[in-house]
Amino acid sequence: MWCGYQPSQSLTCLVCYPLTAKRRPTKRRLELSSHQQEESPTSTVPSKLVSSRAPNSGSTIGQSTVRRVHEYHRNRDADTQPIGTTPNLKKQYTTFVEEREIAVHRSVAFDALCSLIDESTGGPLIDGASGPHSLGARFPFVSSGMNLTEEIISFEPPWRRVYELSGAPVNLYQATTVFTDLGTSCIMAWAVLIDPLPSGASDAFIASAQSFLSHIADKLKIRAEDI
């Protein structure tokens, strides 16, 4: 990306210049380059992983480099398998979303959600950093005979609440509840991301969790609109 400065101007952008300026190779650089080629005729790092980040530049380029590294490590097993073999399967996640239009402002609906959680769990096992429902709060509850714990990892009233669930037969369970104003009403979206165990070991729990979430969403709508 070019920031707009022209080479003829007396000032040059310190971010763009290292990426665009043509540097004349010195004798020392030519010697080093020749020496490196003799020692290592082929590079062990894929060219797509080489960062083009310039000194003193912003963090965007660095972040994209990290992203490419993760993509490489995720795909390299499949890329390097012998021809004719079955490639390794990529990780699959299970997601589902419950949405409800609630005929109250989102601040009212958000407070109703917190009240419903207190009622369902008996209150927090551990209070959050700045309140009973804030970041770090933990709520215990029982579902399908399992003792589960919900830990708040993001709390931004009256907009968003994010939690992770422990104790369930899954590798990861993370849920985000978002409230968006719609005139005098609001839209509640409760999204769940699950990394299931292999061989269908999480299937029964996932079905139960989806049914439970639908029930809670309906209950939240009724409670908020009755306030």
| 94-226 CATH pick, 1.10.10.10, 3.30.530.20, 1.10.1740.10, 2.50.20.10 | 3.30.530.20
Distances (CA, A) of 25 to 53, 81, 178: 20, 39, 55
Dihedral pair phi/psi, residue 163, rounded to 5°: -145, 160
Region 80-104 average pLDDT: 81
**Tens-digit pLDDT profile for residues 9-45:** 444 444 444 444 444 554 554 454 454 444 444 444 4
d(CA 136, CA 146) in angstroms, rounded, equals 22
d(CA 193, CA 98) in angstroms, rounded, equals 12
Distances (CA, A) of 110 to 185, 217, 223: 12, 12, 11
**Strand ranges in 123-159 using DSSP code E only, listed in sequence order:** 138-143, 146-156
Q: Place 81 in a pLDDT band, splitting at 50, 70 and 90.
A: low
Segments of the chain assigned to CATH 3.30.530.20: 94-226
